[in-house]
Amino acid sequence: MLETIIARNRLKESIRELFLNWGFTEVETPTLIPYCNPDDNVENVRAEFKDFQGEKHTWFLHTSPEFFMKRLIWLGAERIFQITKVFRNGEITPLHQVEFTMVEWYRVGEDFKKGMEETEEIVKRGAEEFGVKEITFRGNRASLKEFKRISVKEAFEEFAGVNILDREQVIKISGEKDYESAFFKLLVDRVEPKLAQLPHPVFLFEYPEEFSAMAEVENGIAQRFELYVAGVELANGYTELRDYGSYREKFEEKGICALDKGFLELLKGKPLPKCEGVALGFDRLLMLLLGKENLEEVIPFSTSKLLKELPSS
């Protein structure tokens, strides 16, 4: 346990030093918030509390500090980061925990390509801190000497034999009934296993617009990336959406709980400045750097461990 605590601190300080050298300001934003995550694939943990008058309120533990950090960007901050606990409801696996630590940052005036450069530097800095030159995970090996960049279109053509922009072809080859299901089936069954076998980390970038999340879309292509290291998805970055209408539409797709009124009110006055944003899984990075294969091994008192303390129902 003590070794884990020391390792976590070493990695945090290494990452923090890098951001400070880049001229970033470390910030804090609320963990308990009144809005749920607008992504249908992410479920919040609910938290109930009472105010001084005894009235009950059901809010959410944040899944990411994204929207409050974007408020800070709107208010004039230009380079900000934080290393924070986040919470996501759902399955617990060797690569997932309900409570985990995320590194998230935003830089004004740049796009997702700058985010890839920063992410690569953070991983390399962490590797340098622990004297690691190669990552090994479940038999996959990735040298950290060089990071490759491959577009989603290129990856699907090479590893799945399909033009990802030909939606009918994707549905036919996958055997699924709709494009979203077809995309993820081919991604999981054909593309990701091949990425895991590559001898270097890979940035998968430029997704079809259906999978834009909170990224800007240009000519039907979402300006976003994900980083895979030895088969482990480690980071997700965007050229961020900027305008009121786009955010309102994203929030309304999820429902009333996602309608971030404070953020939308700001955007009515002016759009978010052009910026890039990245979220990186701190625990996953530490797990890989220490040669572990389960987040339990790098998170003291993880949710999965604490569940084992309770009597079975």
pLDDT digits (tens, 9 = 90+) for 91-132: 899 999 999 999 999 999 999 999 999 999 999 999 999 999
The CATH number given to 2-147+200-309 is 3.30.930.10
Q: Count Cβ atoms below 10 Å from residue 306 Cβ, excluding itself.
A: 11
Token digits of residue 12: 């945090």
Report the C-alpha gap between 300 and 168 in whole angstroms: 47
Tens-digit pLDDT profile for residues 218-272: 999 999 999 999 999 999 999 999 999 999 999 999 999 999 999 999 999 999 9
Coil vs helix vs strand at 141: strand
Overall average pLDDT of the 64-74 stretch: 98
H/E stretch holding 14: helix 2-21
Report the C-alpha gap between 170 and 174 in whole angstroms: 6
Query: Nearest-5° angle of CA 88, CA 103, CA 209?
Result: 70
Domain ranges of the chain: 2-147+200-309
Report the C-alpha gap between 81 and 63 in whole angstroms: 16
Coil vs helix vs strand at 312: coil
Tens-digit pLDDT profile for residues 165-174: 999 999 999 9
Tens-digit pLDDT profile for residues 262-300: 999 999 999 999 999 999 999 999 999 999 999 999 999
pLDDT band at residue 12 under the 50/70/90 scheme: very high
Task: Give the rounded distance of the alpha carbon of 153 from its chain centre.
Answer: 21
% of the chain beyond a pLDDT of 70:
100
pLDDT over 90 (residue 1): no
Sequence length of the chain is: 313
Query: Nearest-5° angle of CA 139, CA 144, CA 145?
Result: 130
**What's the helix, strand, coil split of the chain in %, to 5?**
40, 25, 30
Which among 195, 175, 194 is positioned nearest to 185, based on CA atoms? Answer: 175
Overall average pLDDT of the 18-40 stretch: 97
Task: Give the rounded distance of the alpha carbon of 93 from its chain centre.
Answer: 17
Strand bridging mode 79-87 / 99-108 = antiparallel
Check: CB of residue 207 under 8 Å from CB of residue 152. Answer: yes
Token digits of residue 223: 């300006």
Strand bridging mode 25-26 / 79-87 = parallel
Tell me which amino acid residue 67 is.
F
Predicted local confidence at residue 313, as pLDDT: 56
Burial 271-302 (b: 16+ CB within 10 A, else e): bbeebbbbbbbbbbbbbbbeebeebbebbeeb
Coil vs helix vs strand at 102: strand
Listed in sequence order, the residues at least 6 apart from 151 whose beta carbon sits closer than 8 Å to its beta carbon are 204, 205, 206
Token digits of residue 234: 């480690």
C-alpha gyration radius of the chain: 20
Report the C-alpha gap between 44 and 59 in whole angstroms: 9
C-alpha torsion angle, residues 282, 216, 264, 244 (rounded to 10): 180
Check: CB of residue 241 under 8 Å from CB of residue 210. Answer: no
Which among 298, 260, 236, 205 is positioned nearest to 10, based on CA atoms? Answer: 298
